[in-house]
Structure formats: C-alpha cells, structure tokens
Structure 1
Amino acid sequence: MEIPYELRYAIENITSELKLNQLIKDAQNISNKYRAESGTGKRLVTSPNEVIAYSVTRMPATYGAVLTALKNTLDLVETPPHSLLDAGAGTGSATWATHSLLELESMTCFEREGSMSEIGRKLMSESESLSKAKWVNGDILKSDIPVTADLVIASYVFNEMNAEERTTGILKLWAATKMLLLIVEPGTPAGYKQIMNIRKLLLENGGKIAAPCPHDNACPLDNDNWCHFSCRVPRSKLHKELKSGNAPYEDEKFSYIAVVRDDLKKADARILRHPYIEKGQITLELCKADGLKQVKITKRDENSYKQAKKAGWGDGFNYK
C-alpha cells in the first residue's frame, strides 16, 4: 500500500530542520521504552522530538494497520460512518487512514499528550480536509469522552494500559460509539490476548462482531497460535536510517476487533494465512462459524477459484 502524499510530505516537512543523529537517538529511546514499559500505564512518548521520531517510524505502520482493518470491516457495513472519534489519537494515524476510505462530516482527535496533539495538528495542516479535524486534549480514563461518533477507533492504545484500565477505557469508548468500534493492537500473543479480552467484554455489553471473526463463538485457535494479520508499508529514506535497515518496506503485524451495535451479515469465513498457490489449486486456511477449515479450491469450482485468486491473508471469503 502507498502512504498518502500529503502525509509523506508533512512528515518530511517537520523533520527537515532536525539533526539526523538526534532523530536516531530519539527513535531508539522510543523503541526501548515500548519493549520495556508497554502495559504499565506509563507515558511512553512525551517530548516533542520523540514525537517527531515516532511520526517517522510508527505513523506509516499504524496507518497501514488501521486502513487494512477498517477496509475489511467496511466491506460488511451497509451504511458508511460519517463521523469519527480517534481516541488516543497520538499524531492522528487512524484519522489519516479513515480519511483515505470515507467521506467524513466530522473528525475528532482525542489525545492526552500535548506534544502528540501539537505534531498531529501540524501534520494535518498540510491537508485541506484534515486540517478541519478537531483536536481535544484529554485522557480516555480520566476525562469525559468529548463526543459520540458513528465510528470510534483506538489504535495501539490499550497495550499501554493495565487490565483494569483497559476495561474502563473500552466501556467508555463503547458508550461513545453510535455504529462501529474498531480496536487495533500489536499482532503479538500479548496483543491478541488483549483483543480476546476486549472481544469478550464487548459481547457481554451488547456488541456484535463485524470483523475479523465470522462468528461470535469462542476463538477456535489453540493456545500455540494467535489471530493476527499483516500489511506491508513502504519505508522512506529517513525511516530506513532511523530503523538502521535497508529494506524498502516493513511488514506490520496487528490484531484487531471491530464491533457494531446493529446486526449485520458477516463474512462466511476469514482467511488466516497467506493462500498457498499451486498449479490449478489454491489452499486456504479459514476461520468459520463451525471452526477452522483448510480448503483446497481447484479450477473446477470456477467461482470460488476466481475469488481465491484475488484473496489474501485477512480477507473475508464466501465459502459454504
């Protein structure tokens, strides 16, 4: 996937006057803190320079994860959302992603860190439509949620909280949701466990799963596996320098849950792995309402084969 030109230009603009050595140092500090302190409730990115380094190294991946999760969800929703609450917005990655898919009448970015909000506003000022987004300073746990919205998104927010805080935060965001709540977390065993806890909580409070699960039953994966997906995003030259890597892209692994208030027609199945393609045959690992299925689709099944050729990891799949 491509990162929008306006976002790429905005990130280049805010880094243009900073020294490379300082950006590299700040990026390393962020990486160390996320490895050591996620889930403790501590504030992980606070200084303006760290926020700028975060924008370079994390915004593209977060944008890609939210875009992929939201696209797979919107495929199942009959009425598109017209208002957005980006909760724990950071520098606004989820708002950028949503803007790429929807025509929004209102956008609210709710963020506790002043430095994050400041950089987020600067980035969005490069976009005529996104510059209209409203930024509200506040904490999901301690503040009143400022608005209700058709679509509420929290991306990479709850991995910074402990279990009790997550429960409080999720219920507050669900109360602010008119149509659809989307939660995106790291595609790790820990991130998946958080998503499963969030899934259970929302089902207990009247939610209906839209994606990725094609059912509301218990997850059929065994304890050695976890449900996650992946998106590939390009790296800029500066991104590669800050990550000390030469690869022109990075693969972002993520887990997510999308919950709606009203009934909807779910996908028949969800593809859990990259399709395995052989001559005249495609093998898919599917999650279905009756459990996990490995299916081999041949050219004889013309309609399913055409669908499978276009399908990828994480896509919904119509297969009875």
Structure 2
Amino acid sequence: MDKKLQLPDYLVNSIESFCEKIPLKNLKEASVRLSNNYLAGFVNKRLQAPLDHIAYLATRFPATFAACSSVFHQIKLKTDKSFETLLDLGSGPGTVVFAALEYFPSLKKIYIVEQDAFFIEFCKKTLRDHFPHVSLEVLANDIKKTELKEVDLITSSYALNELGEIEFNEIAERVFSIQKDLAVFIEPGTPRGYSLILKLREMAFSKNKFPLAPCPHSLECPLAKTQKWCHFSERLPRSSIHRFLKEARLNFEDEKFSYFAASNIEAAPLLDRIIGHPRKHSGHISFDLCTKEGRATQEIISKRDGTFYKEAKELKWGDCLES
C-alpha cells in the first residue's frame, strides 16, 4: 500500500483558489510571520486575519497532512477494520479528517472539536463538495469543555501540546475512558512532542490499552532515559508557491513527528520498528531498531542475506522490519 503523502487534487485546488485572490507579497509576509512564530516556539499562537489562515493552508497544511497520512498508512498495515465514526480533537482545517478519508473511505460520521471559525468553514465546505456522504458535526470550540462522543476512531493531531499539564491529563483520561476501538495521537517530532506521546503511551497502558503503532511492545520506551527521542520523518514535495512563500531552495521538505496509536485489542504480530534513517553501505544496511523485546538496538543486513537483503533495501524510517 502506497503512502498518500501528497495533498489530493481537491485540496490542492481548494488552497490555490484562496491563494490566487491575494497578492503574493502579502501572502509571503503572512507566511514569514507564521514561520517565525513556529521557530520561536509560539505554536499555540492564534491565527487572526484570514490572510494568516491562508498562509497556514499553503505552508503548514501539506506537511501535517503528510505526517497524518504516514501514521494512517502504518495503522492500515496493522488492521483491516473499516471505521465508520471519527472524533477529532483540535481539528484545525481538518487535516486528520481528510487524511483519514484517504485510508478509511468507510467513514460516515465525523465529529470535530475546533475553535477557529475559518478552519471550521474550510472543513465543512470541502466535505460538502467532495464527500457528500460524510456527515460532519462540530461538537464544541473548546477541547477542555467538550463532552466526547464514543466513536470507532479518536484522533488528535498537533493539538494536545496546546494544553497545560492538568488539562492534558484530564483530556487523556476522558479519551481512554470512552475509547471504543482505536485512539491516535500525533505531535511534533521534538523532544517535547515525544514527551507528550510518552505520557499518553503510559496512560494508555495503565488503562489496559495495547500498542498498535509504532511501538512493538508494551514495555518501557528504551529511549525514555536517553538523549534521543522517538520520532519519524516524512519527505513531501513542495509546490512552486510553497517554495516561494518559504524562500526554500529545495523542492521537498521533511516533516518530523511523534505518534502513538492505542488499541483496545492486542495486535499480532508485533514487529521491530525502524527508528532512524537506514544507513546504506556497500554490501550491507544498518538499521536502528526498537525491538519487540523492548530494546533499542542496531541490526546489520548484508548481501549474504539474499532475499531478505533485497527486501530490506526498500525499507524506510518508520517501517517495520520482519526478521
């Protein structure tokens, strides 16, 4: 199954229709302002003007979509379930919603929690235009005060990092208490993002949940007490307007993220997970692995391993390694 990292045409066209109405100079200024906020750590800063929202759609939406798509790709490899209902906490413009629909077209009813009116309308209109069979309901605009719905799939992407510690714990407790099947959390691939995912992982296990991805075990994370952190990276192509707005020389960007998918049912089999870029040498490949025994280790696969070596050459950071 191929990863669907690039935005579908309907999303590309929708975003470009917004961008075409604005002078590129103004859009670039908004994009620079947005980038500076992220670099300064102001990821929670509310977007104000419509121009800022459009800059977000043009510069950040493709990358977060790629991260969500990568996560759903790994989940789809582990389950053949057809989810029909989804609850997304902190939806933004519906990034998780549209990525999920690429992998789970069986979705019929979607609930979102979002406070930004511009993004809510973007999500509503896009669903009406391209997924008329899908029903959307905005539960509330405040994730801290929402009465959660029991659904097949609960998601939160780049949202829980906006909460204080007490609020974070309360929301997580509520999610796990109503979880019917699968809960998926995605955060930035930073030490802080990983620390939040680690907390969610520990809380999930205390509620008798099981890892579906990426963890191949329910033991203590082997990176928890090291200087490293568990995260993954997806490379996605940049559009010409994206390159212009970000003053980027490269025609691609790498989006780093951490995630955890908690299941009510124990998955099998659990396979070693590749937790870094494979290092390809002459005649062999070196992998950094998180193993099903709960260890962070390295494994070398050489040409002498025959078919196994040929298959390993196609593996990337975030994939499973079948021994």
How many pairs does the alignment contain?
316
Identity of aligned residues (%): 32
Q: Quick one: which of 15, 18, 24 aligns to 2:22?
A: 18
The residue correspondences of 1:156-175 to structure 2 (distance < 5 A) are 156-175=158-177
Corresponding letter in the other structure for 1:245: A
Corresponding letter in the other structure for 1:74: K
Structure 1 partner of 2:12 = 8
Structure 2 partner of 1:289 = 292
Unaligned runs of 5+ in 1: none
Relative to structure 2, which stretch is displaced further, 150-159 or 216-225? 216-225
Q: TM-score, normalised by structure 2?
A: 0.90
The residue correspondences of 1:39-188 to structure 2 (distance < 5 A) are 43-103=45-105, 104-129=107-132, 132-145=135-148, 147-188=149-190
Q: Quick one: which of 259, 262, 266 aligns to 1:263?
A: 266
The residue correspondences of 1:291-310 to structure 2 (distance < 5 A) are 291-310=295-314
Quote how far apart the aligned CAs of 1:223 are: 2.1
Q: Using CA pairs below 8 Å that are at least 6 residues apart, which structure has the higher relative contact order?
A: 1
Give the CA RMSD over aligned residues: 2.1
Quote how far apart the aligned CAs of 1:9 are: 0.6
Structure 2 partner of 1:241 = 244
Relative to structure 2, which stretch is displaced further, 14-23 or 63-72? 14-23
Corresponding letter in the other structure for 2:308: S
Using the alignment, how far apart are the partners of 1:130 and 1:86 within structure 2?
A: 18
Structure 1 residues 236-265: Cα deviation after superposition (integer angstroms, max 9, x where no partner): 222222212132111000011110111111
Helix, strand or coil: the match of 1:24?
Answer: helix
Using the alignment, how far apart are the partners of 1:130 and 1:190 within structure 2?
A: 38
Unaligned runs of 5+ in 2: none
Structure 1 partner of 2:212 = 210
Whether the 8 Å CA contact 1:277–1:283 is kept in 2: the answer is: yes
Whether the 8 Å CA contact 1:66–1:184 is kept in 2: the answer is: yes
Using the alignment, how far apart are the partners of 1:30 and 1:286 within structure 2?
A: 35
Whether the 8 Å CA contact 1:61–1:252 is kept in 2: the answer is: yes
Using the alignment, how far apart are the partners of 1:16 and 1:124 within structure 2?
A: 21
Corresponding letter in the other structure for 1:212: P
Whether the 8 Å CA contact 1:26–1:49 is kept in 2: the answer is: yes
Helix, strand or coil: the match of 1:91?
Answer: coil
Quote how far apart the aligned CAs of 1:116 are: 1.9
Using the alignment, how far apart are the partners of 1:143 and 1:2 within structure 2?
A: 32
Using the alignment, how far apart are the partners of 1:23 and 1:121 within structure 2?
A: 24
Quote how far apart the aligned CAs of 1:90 are: 0.3
Structure 2 partner of 1:192 = 194
